[in-house]
Amino acid sequence: MPFSDYHTALVTGASTGIGAAIVERFCREGLEVHAVARSADLLKDLAARTGCIPHALDVCDLTAMTALTQEVPFDVVVNNAGVSRKGSILDAQVDDIDVQVEVNLQAVLHIVRLTMPGMVARDRGHIVNISSIAAIYNFGGNSIYHATKAAIHALSRQLRVDATGRRVRITEICPGRVATDIFGHVSGDVEAARRQFIDGFELPLPGDIADAIAFAIAAPLAVNISNMEILPTLQVPGGLTTVKRDD
């Protein structure tokens, strides 16, 4: 379905990184893009640069998100907002669990609940859920993040079942390491995280993820690109860890 068959788009977590790149790409495609994030200043700059419509909202503010989705019939929804905290479940605090579940899963469920019925009724729409390779592969730490992204992986597949017989497409994007500041947001030290995780690595850029999403949306109507894993060429997930104890 070409972009010209869609009119409106909602992008969460839109102020920086992958979200901002998606907003930029959608605006170039001629969509009326509603960009949601908490940072009013960054959204103002994004709107000046792209022509998007900024909404300084928290995706967990159900009243505000309900009002927005009732005001605008969205044809395309990109659930990009997400948070992560360091550490495994062994040292997690109450807030580590609550925040990640609320932002990464609960908010997504509500946004889909608020937008997908209209798509089904109109027989037209596309939902893009930004998941992670953490939804599929296991690696050290970030247990709660893995769990919430695995839930998004399952949800994305289930939504296709819920839309059976309607031209509503669901795409899950599972990025590996991308050159964004997410690692700094987790650690609290953006510069140190950039040196550790970004500098010197050959990584996809946020625009590469936006291009992949645009490819999925622009695919022929009979084509649903349901899942994409997008990793750096030099990043390999998986591997075996075997511990030998000398008790």
Q: Which residues are catalytic?
A: 145
Q: Is 130 inside a domain boundary?
A: yes
Average pLDDT, the chain: 93
Question: Given pLDDT bands bounded at 50, 70 and 90, which one contains residue 1?
Answer: low
The partner residues of 175 in beta bridges, in order of sequence, read 230
Helix-helix angle 17-28:206-218, to 10 degrees: 40
Q: What angle do CA 207, 168, 132 make, to 5 degrees?
A: 40
The yes-or-no verdict on residue 153 having pLDDT over 60 is: yes
92 falls within a domain: yes
- Please tell me the distance from the alpha carbon of residue 35 to that of residue 12, in angstroms, as a whole number: 6
Q: What is the CATH number of the domain that holds 146?
A: 3.40.50.720
Show the DSSP H helices in 73-137 as ranges. 94-101, 107-122
Burial annotation 217-246 (CB, 10 A radius, 16+ → b, else e): bebeeeebbebbbbbbeeeeeeeeeeeeee
Residue 16 is assigned to a structural domain of this protein: yes
Q: What percent of the chain has pLDDT over 90?
A: 80
The DSSP secondary-structure symbol of 59 reads T
Residue 245: inside a domain: no
Residue 51 located in a structural domain: yes
Comparing 239 with 51, the larger pLDDT belongs to: 51
Q: Are 29 and 247 in contact (CB under 8 A)?
A: no
Instruction: Give the H/E segment covering residue 214.
Output: helix 206-218
Higher pLDDT, residue 194 or 178: 178
Tens of pLDDT, residues 2-60: 788 899 999 999 999 999 999 999 999 999 999 999 999 999 999 999 999 999 999 99
Higher pLDDT, 205 or 184: 205
Q: What is the pLDDT of residues 83-130, one digit of tens each?
A: 998 888 999 999 999 999 999 999 999 999 999 999 999 999 999 999
φ, ψ of residue 194 to 5 degrees: the values are -65, -40
Does the structure show a pLDDT above 80 at 182? no
Residues of the domain holding 201: 3-230
Radius of gyration from C-alpha coordinates of the chain: 18
Specify the pairing of strand 168-175 against strand 227-230.
parallel
Is 90 exceeded by the pLDDT of residue 247? no
Question: DSSP code of 76?
Answer: E
Q: What is the pLDDT of residue 181?
A: 79
Tokens in use for 74? Answer: 């969205």
Report whether pLDDT(240) > 80. no
Angle at 100 between CA 97 and CA 102, to 5 degrees: 100
**246, part of any domain:** no
Q: What is the pLDDT of residue 165?
A: 97
What are the CB-based long-range contacts (under 8 Å, 24+) for 51-60?
51/27, 52/14, 52/23, 52/26, 52/27, 59/12, 59/13, 59/103, 59/107, 59/111, 60/102, 60/103, 60/106, 60/107
Mean pLDDT to the nearest integer, 193-198: 82
Say if 242 falls within a structural domain: no
- Domains in the chain, number: 1
247 part of a folded domain: no
